[in-house]
Structure 1
Amino acid sequence: ALSNYRFQLRRFGRVLEAHGVEPTSLTLEIADRHARQVPFDRMNAVRIPNLVRRFVLHLISIGVAIPPPVSAAQIAKDKLLDDLEGFLLGQRGLSPSSVYHVKRYAVRFLDHRFGETVPDPSAIRHQDIVAFLEHIQKGKGLSMARTPASHLRCFFQYLFARGLTVTNLSSTVPKVHRIQNNRLPRYLPPTDIEAILEWVRRESSYGVRDYAMFLLMARLGLRVPEVMAIEIDDIDWRAGELLVRGKGKRRDRLPLPEDVGAAISAYLRDARPSTVTRVLFVRSYAPYLGFKDSRIVSKILARACAALKIEMPARYLGSHVLRHSLATRMVRSGVALHEVGDVLRHKSRATTMIYAKLDIANLRSVAQPWPAGEAKQ
């Protein structure tokens, strides 16, 4: 890959040379214009404009190329967003992925409300929030409205905490009606879970690594970000315990099942590349670092279900089905709900109560007779 990048950049360099453009006079706009003049190579998957953009950004970072001009509005916006990130990480305890999404919607709101002018949080009104939500929700269902509303509340709570708004505008963000616990938990039967695990172990491109990741979710109910966050030092082999970094900077120690420990050991011994990072699960290509996001797990699960002709209980459920399936199996095996909540590390017992619907035996014992049935008797 590196030799291919160098080859493509040399092709770009010849175009610059033909037009008399020196590297020190490069800007992102000039580079993009000349990158599109590099002859198209259908045998090469590298997109030249994207590669050139990354290269010029590197030149800018080391002081060779010309950085793009930054307006006063952009400087003020960047300063506000940097402070927002520090606030969410340090005082709210949000995960980096949650902070990313809050910042993303904050940027979209500021751009919509202030455009190219310097943002003035004190000028924000309830009508601005409603107008923005209506703008981004055009053509989308109500279920898609909860996410931006939630992230915007975090942003407005920050503005109020910093004294940038007179009132706490988070309370003025419209709430999206949601019927709580109106359906059964979505899960797969144990036979399907075991079939998926076996497929991942045998057929996945990087089966040793992927099998260990999927076992952690299927046996311990870990969320994908929690699996991605595991570091080598989090495993206490002598005690047979695993440190789990959960939501809101929560730390829990869980017992490490024998088959999960064996899978992790096999990955460390036979498949994990040599790398300086202490993150347990790393990418299969250089640089050998942790995963950027959780999409890889959903893609592997989708391939497994397609190959095994397993129909997911919901279209957008993804890898969380493994967590639901574990809880469902525990409830139907007679495990008490509070113990299920402990395994899943729920903060609230109310969260665990959704699985009470699956305890058919106990529900039958407390079910009231149907009035019409009594009348017929």
Structure 2
Amino acid sequence: MAKKVQPTCLDPYISSFEESLAPTHMQRRALSNYRFQLRRFGRVLEAHGVEPTSLTLEIADRHARQVPFDRMNAVRIPNLVRRFVLHLISIGVAIPPPVSAAQIAKDKLLDDLEGFLLGQRGLSPSSVYHVKRYAVRFLDHRFGETVPDPSAIRHQDIVAFLEHIQKGKGLSMARTPASHLRCFFQYLFARGLTVTNLSSTVPKVHRIQNNRLPRYLPPTDIEAILEWVRRESSYGVRDYAMFLLMARLGLRVPEVMAIEIDDIDWRAGELLVRGKGKRRDRLPLPEDVGAAISAYLRDARPSTVTRVLFVRSYAPYLGFKDSRIVSKILARACAALKIEMPARYLGSHVLRHSLATRMVRSGVALHEVGDVLRHKSRATTMIYAKLDIANLRSVAQPWPAGEAKQ
């Protein structure tokens, strides 16, 4: 006889919560697990005498962290509870968070910043996210809980903020926040919110360009990684197709993640690549890459409404949030094959470098390498000239050691 489920104070709202998840095509088992975890959370609320109508995001998070941790369950209770409480707020049950005048002004500024970066600067959603993140940190550091006034920002405020976030960190970590802050201050000047362009006052980190060879792996290692991904990866059909796009066409990970089903022209054998700065390029689709994508679409891609080509293997079946999954797969492959990466933090970009290196050493002209990699500047492609050992040897001057002895 099945054990009777003891309802909680949250049960009247669980059905509508599940209905709100319908567009994500979540599996029944996952929904059942959500119900189980929400009832665990409901019992904690009942033990503390908290009604659903008195819930706020802060109260819910505090009590969610009191739900006993279950090592065998992958669901993170605080994340699930936050999603559930946002649903309660949307249907008028829970209490919406209070919004101050400062927060309203800040949100308005950040929304306009996002529109500016996407529409006029052509930045990717990932880059926009990071610019907004540092903009929020700067505004919080400079203005605190008061309404932000961009016209009051001075050079000293920028230096003080960078010193604050860089405390205890290496010099190499300073380049990223400085770059994102320049985008933010360029936006403020373009919108007329500052009298001068403060982006030019952001301190620059000295960096010697082109002082090392491009990091790459030999072709045998690349082929071994591809074979491992195809056979040993948890979702080999999908992962193999992604890795082939990077190894054969030199695509960046965000470009692979951005591919949509309609970007593939099967009759012409071409692929539309959505690159940096809203750039669109058409590349020929190699036979093995096309076969791998076809196998994924036919045998492994779950049914979903999204047109993004590569989707997650669990519901909701949507595109990936970031590129970490590719780096993790590559790290597992290198560990299993005992392949040592040429640099500690190189990641999946090593596939792109390896393709360029192989092309240069095969006699492909540098301008053609740049066309394949879709470099905006030829100077970027020139770093691979260092790897053209045969041609470099032909122009090398004889070592003057013999003359010195005479």
* TM-score category, normalised to shorter length: over 0.9
CA separation of 1:371 and 1:233: change in aligned 2, threshold 3 A: same
Structure 2 residue aligned with 1:80: 109
Q: Displacement of 1:42 after TM fit?
A: 5.2
In 2, the alpha carbon distance for the partners of 1:346 and 1:265 equals 28
Structure 2 residue aligned with 1:243: 272
Q: Displacement of 1:18 after TM fit?
A: 4.4
In 1, the alpha carbon distance for the partners of 2:117 and 2:293 equals 33
CA separation of 1:47 and 1:290: change in aligned 2, threshold 3 A: closer
In 1, the alpha carbon distance for the partners of 2:269 and 2:243 equals 19
Q: Displacement of 1:97 after TM fit?
A: 0.5
In 2, the alpha carbon distance for the partners of 1:227 and 1:84 equals 26
Where structure 2 has 5 or more consecutive residues not aligned to the other structure, the ranges are 1-29
CA separation of 1:221 and 1:45: change in aligned 2, threshold 3 A: closer
What per-residue deviation string (whole Å, max 9, x for no partner) do you get for residues 92-138 of structure 1?
01110000000000001111111111111111111111111111111
Q: Displacement of 1:31 after TM fit?
A: 2.1
Q: Which moved more, 1:41-50 or 1:233-242?
A: 41-50
In 2, the alpha carbon distance for the partners of 1:324 and 1:354 equals 10
Query: Alignment partner of 2:129: what SS?
Result: helix
Q: Displacement of 1:267 after TM fit?
A: 0.6
Q: Displacement of 1:141 after TM fit?
A: 1.4
What per-residue deviation string (whole Å, max 9, x for no partner) do you get for residues 286-338 of structure 1?
11111010000000000000000000000000000000000000000111101
What per-residue deviation string (whole Å, max 9, x for no partner) do you get for residues 231-262 of structure 1?
11111111111110000000111001111111
Q: Displacement of 1:36 after TM fit?
A: 4.1
Structure 1 residue aligned with 2:349: 320
Percentage identity across aligned positions? 100
CA separation of 1:337 and 1:62: change in aligned 2, threshold 3 A: same
In 2, the alpha carbon distance for the partners of 1:181 and 1:75 equals 45
Query: Alignment partner of 2:272: what SS?
Result: strand
Equivalences, count: 377
Pairing partner for 2:310 from 281, 291, 299: 281
Q: Displacement of 1:280 after TM fit?
A: 0.6
CA separation of 1:357 and 1:16: change in aligned 2, threshold 3 A: same
In 1, the alpha carbon distance for the partners of 2:178 and 2:31 equals 43
Query: Alignment partner of 1:242: what SS?
Result: strand
Pairing partner for 1:187 from 216, 227, 239: 216
CA separation of 1:47 and 1:226: change in aligned 2, threshold 3 A: closer
Pairing partner for 1:219 from 236, 248, 253: 248
Q: Displacement of 1:59 after TM fit?
A: 1.2
In 1, the alpha carbon distance for the partners of 2:329 and 2:40 equals 36
Q: Displacement of 1:39 after TM fit?
A: 4.7
Structure 2 residue aligned with 1:51: 80
What per-residue deviation string (whole Å, max 9, x for no partner) do you get for residues 179-199 of structure 1?
000000000000000000000
Q: Which moved more, 1:257-266 or 1:16-25?
A: 16-25
In 2, the alpha carbon distance for the partners of 1:150 and 1:291 equals 25
After TM superposition, the structure 1 = structure 2 runs for residues 290-305 of structure 1, keeping only pairs within 5 Å, are: 290-305=319-334
What per-residue deviation string (whole Å, max 9, x for no partner) do you get for residues 164-219 of structure 1?
10100000000000000000000000000000000000000000000000000000
CA separation of 1:287 and 1:43: change in aligned 2, threshold 3 A: closer
Q: Displacement of 1:53 after TM fit?
A: 2.2
CA separation of 1:128 and 1:253: change in aligned 2, threshold 3 A: same
Q: Displacement of 1:369 after TM fit?
A: 2.7
Q: Displacement of 1:28 after TM fit?
A: 1.9
Q: Displacement of 1:41 after TM fit?
A: 4.5
CA separation of 1:15 and 1:258: change in aligned 2, threshold 3 A: same
Q: Displacement of 1:154 after TM fit?
A: 0.2
Q: Which moved more, 1:59-68 or 1:122-131?
A: 59-68
CA separation of 1:34 and 1:360: change in aligned 2, threshold 3 A: closer
In 1, the alpha carbon distance for the partners of 2:201 and 2:62 equals 45
CA separation of 1:41 and 1:184: change in aligned 2, threshold 3 A: closer
TM-score (norm 1): 0.97
The answer on 1:155 being equivalent to 2:184 is yes
CA separation of 1:27 and 1:231: change in aligned 2, threshold 3 A: same
Q: Displacement of 1:27 after TM fit?
A: 1.2
